[in-house]
């Protein structure tokens, strides 16, 4: 899977590493791990992200000095690594410019990935992009420092919901164990990610739970975070991370739907499900994608219009 990609790495000198907007643990952990891996073998590597690093991931090795939010107009790159992106446009405002750099190497695990780029390693059976990078490093014979192991472990931990989601398999635990052997500290990482919650997140959750709604006899649960709520508690989009998982945990709920107002008449819709209910299929109908039990899309319109359309699709599938 990685042979041609490794040939490009061997031949090249300078690489750009990037991922999607609204960063999560898999995106940031994977980016930082790859950047450190490339630098460890004598290459030049830079991470570009449109959005700032969420506070809960600032502990990751390299988060403070390897990530940039503006592209150097004069920089030259032998290749671009687009990580954890189902489509090039998800990189954000610089996607067109980055798309003009060749070759583009696409490494991802989303079933909705459009296999863009010149070369790609896309495996929907992998738990995370972090797991795929571990496999690539093993195939290449690259050594993993404790810093790299910490980034990759965080990527896997967060994208599997602490090894609770259906994308967790025997191979996931095998990789996680190998990363612990190389210096990742599971207890410390979990504490940084899950036990260092900023006050704004709690205040935002309090506001959001006031909008909670149930349908289909309690099998569907929805909640909204509006821009006004975020302004009231001085929260950022990152503070709403995991709200969809939180309401999915309610007893009897099979599908959770989390609506986030991202701009005027624009909403991000995050789906989470239990068991065999496929929310990726529903997100796909609205131009989004993801995984069977975790997916998302973006929809224009007034909130009630968007909510009605989404609820109707979920209820129709549930019947």
Give Rg (Cα) of the chain: 19
* Cα–chain center distance at 59: 17
CATH number of 199-318: 3.10.310.30
Q: How confident is the model at residue 140 (pLDDT cuts 50, 70, 90)?
A: very high
All residues at 6 or more sequence positions from 132 whose CB lies less than 8 Å from its CB, including other chains: 107, 108, 109, 121, 123, 126
pLDDT digits (tens, 9 = 90+) for 63-91: 999 999 999 888 899 999 999 999 999 99
pLDDT for the residue numbered 179: 98
Q: How far apart are CA 208 and CA 205, in angstroms?
A: 5
The whole-number average pLDDT for the span 278-286 is 95
57 to each of 143, 151, 154, how far by Cα in Å? 23, 10, 9
Q: How far apart are CA 298 and CA 61, in angstroms?
A: 32
Q: How far apart are CA 247 and CA 101, in angstroms?
A: 41
For residue 167, pLDDT beyond 90:
no
Q: CATH 3.10.129.10: does it fit domain 3-194?
A: no
Give DSSP secondary structure letters for 136-156.
HHHHHT----HHHHHHHHHHH
Q: How far apart are CA 191 and CA 169, in angstroms?
A: 23
Give the pair of three-digit tokens for residue 200.
């704004």
Q: How far apart are CA 80 and CA 99, in angstroms?
A: 9
| Angle value at C-alpha 246, between 114 and 171, nearest 5 degrees | 50
Q: How far apart are CA 143 and CA 7, in angstroms?
A: 18
The whole-number average pLDDT for the span 165-183 is 95
Give yes or no on whether 3-194 and 199-318 have one common fold: no
pLDDT for the residue numbered 15: 98
Element spanning 16, H or E: strand 14-18
171 neighbors 131 (Cβ within 8 angstroms): yes
Residue with tokens 């309090």: 206
Find, among 259, 295, 260, the residue nearest to 277 by Cα: 295
**Domain definitions of the chain by residue range:** 3-194, 199-318
278 neighbors 294 (Cβ within 8 angstroms): no
219 neighbors 252 (Cβ within 8 angstroms): yes
Q: How confident is the model at residue 307 (pLDDT cuts 50, 70, 90)?
A: very high
């Amino acid at each position: 899977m990685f042979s041609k990609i490794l040939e490009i790495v061997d031949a090249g000198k300078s690489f750009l590493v990037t991922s999607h907007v609204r960063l999560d643990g898999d995106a940031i952990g994977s980016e930082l791990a790859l950047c450190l891996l490339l630098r460890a073998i004598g290459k030049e590597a830079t991470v570009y992200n449109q959005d700032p690093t969420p506070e809960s991931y600032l502990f990751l090795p390299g988060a403070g000095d390897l990530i940039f939010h503006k592209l150097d107009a004069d920089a030259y790159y032998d290749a671009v690594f687009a990580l954890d992106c189902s489509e090039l446009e998800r990189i954000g405002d610089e996607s067109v410019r980055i798309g003009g750099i060749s070759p583009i190497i696409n490494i991802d695990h989303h079933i909705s990935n459009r296999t863009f780029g010149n070369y790609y390693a896309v495996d929907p059976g992998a738990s995370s992009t972090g797991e795929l990078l571990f496999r690539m490093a093993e195939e290449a014979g690259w050594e993993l420092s404790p810093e790299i192991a910490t980034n990759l472990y965080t990527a896997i931990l967060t994208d599997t919901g602490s090894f609770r989601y259906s994308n967790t398999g025997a191979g996931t635990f095998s990789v996680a164990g190998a990363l612990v052997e190389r210096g990742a500290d599971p207890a410390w990482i979990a504490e940084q990610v899950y036990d260092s919650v900023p006050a704004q997140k709690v205040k935002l959750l309090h506001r959001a739970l006031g909008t909670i709604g149930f349908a289909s006899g309690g099998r569907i649960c929805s909640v909204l975070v509006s821009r006004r709520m975020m302004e009231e508690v001085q929260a950022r989009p990152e503070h709403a991370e995991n709200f969809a998982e939180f309401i999915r945990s309610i007893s009897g709920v099979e599908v959770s739907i989390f609506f986030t107002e991202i701009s005027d008449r624009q909403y991000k819709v995050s789906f989470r499900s239990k068991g065999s209910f496929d929310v990726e299929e529903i997100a796909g109908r609205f131009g989004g994608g993801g995984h069977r039990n975790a997916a998302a899309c973006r929809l224009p319109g007034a909130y009630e219009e968007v909510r009605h359309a989404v609820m109707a699709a979920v209820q129709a599938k549930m019947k």
